[in-house]
Amino acid sequence: MNYVRNAVRFLLNPPKGVRSWTAHKNLLRDGGTDFANWPAVLKTDEATPPVVAPGIISRLSTLVAGIKAHKNYTEAIGQHLQLIGPKITVEPDTWKPVLKCRYNAGNPVICWTKGQASAIEIWADRGAGFVLFAVNNEPDTIDMTPLPASGTNWKYKAIYRLHDEPVGQWSDVMNVAVGI
């Protein structure tokens, strides 16, 4: 496993000119017969761990399946071996969007992460109070409203939606400078 960890670390921070490490990592992970395309040995500051046979993930999956199929297997054993993770409790009441802004051709792009929500409901205040601007199920929403004169501030706030219902807490109000 140390060899795989080393290969992944090398992939994330490769020396200049190294392009075949993805194929090398995939060959280690999935197995195969294309050993001729392994990358050349490169000097590193660390000693390279011993090579493992290709196909480590499939071997590990087979091992886990065998353990789980054993007649004496229990959920407690699975948790102890970390084959079963802790139960995740989803608490939509605690969700609170975090809004950020970037610009695309002068128009504000409201950036947000989806998490486990179905969508987000974004409200905008362009000087006349908050009104519903958009309900979007994909992160990052561009506001194509015609831009006002320079020096104007628009405000945005949002709340997550789950099964077409608002859930959680409102985001903090985000002030955005707009104008042409």
Could you read off the pLDDT of 144-171 as tens digits, one per residue?
999 998 889 999 999 999 999 999 999 9
Tell whether the torsion through CA atoms of 30, 33, 39 and 41 is positive or negative.
positive
- Comparing 40 with 170, the larger pLDDT belongs to 170
> What average pLDDT does the structure give for the chain?
85
pLDDT score of 18: 59
**Host H or E run for residue 5:** helix 2-12
Claim to verify: residue 76 and residue 98 sit in the same structural domain: no
Q: Note the residue count of the chain.
A: 180
121 vs 70: CA distance, rounded Å: 48
Claim to verify: residue 96 and residue 27 sit in the same structural domain: no
CATH of the domain at 163: 2.60.40.10
C-alpha dist (Å) from residue 18 to 14, 45, 83: 6, 16, 35
pLDDT score of 104: 93
Reported as a single tens digit per residue, the pLDDT across 87-110 is 878 799 999 999 999 999 999 999
- Domain boundary among the residues 80, 105, 132 is at 80
Claim to verify: residue 119 and residue 144 sit in the same structural domain: yes
Claim to verify: residue 57 and residue 11 sit in the same structural domain: yes
Does 86 map to a domain?
no
Claim to verify: residue 170 and residue 121 sit in the same structural domain: yes
Q: In terms of residue numbers, what domain contains 167?
A: 92-178
If DSSP states are collapsed to H, E and C, what string results for 136-151? ECCCCEECCCCCCCCC
165 vs 120: CA distance, rounded Å: 10
- Identify any residues that bridge with 159 across adjacent strands, giving them in sequence order: 121
Claim to verify: residue 69 and residue 98 sit in the same structural domain: no
pLDDT score of 94: 93
Claim to verify: residue 69 and residue 24 sit in the same structural domain: yes
- pTM of the shown model: 0.55
pLDDT score of 95: 95
Claim to verify: residue 54 and residue 113 sit in the same structural domain: no
- Identify any residues that bridge with 123 across adjacent strands, giving them in sequence order: 132, 157
Claim to verify: residue 69 and residue 118 sit in the same structural domain: no
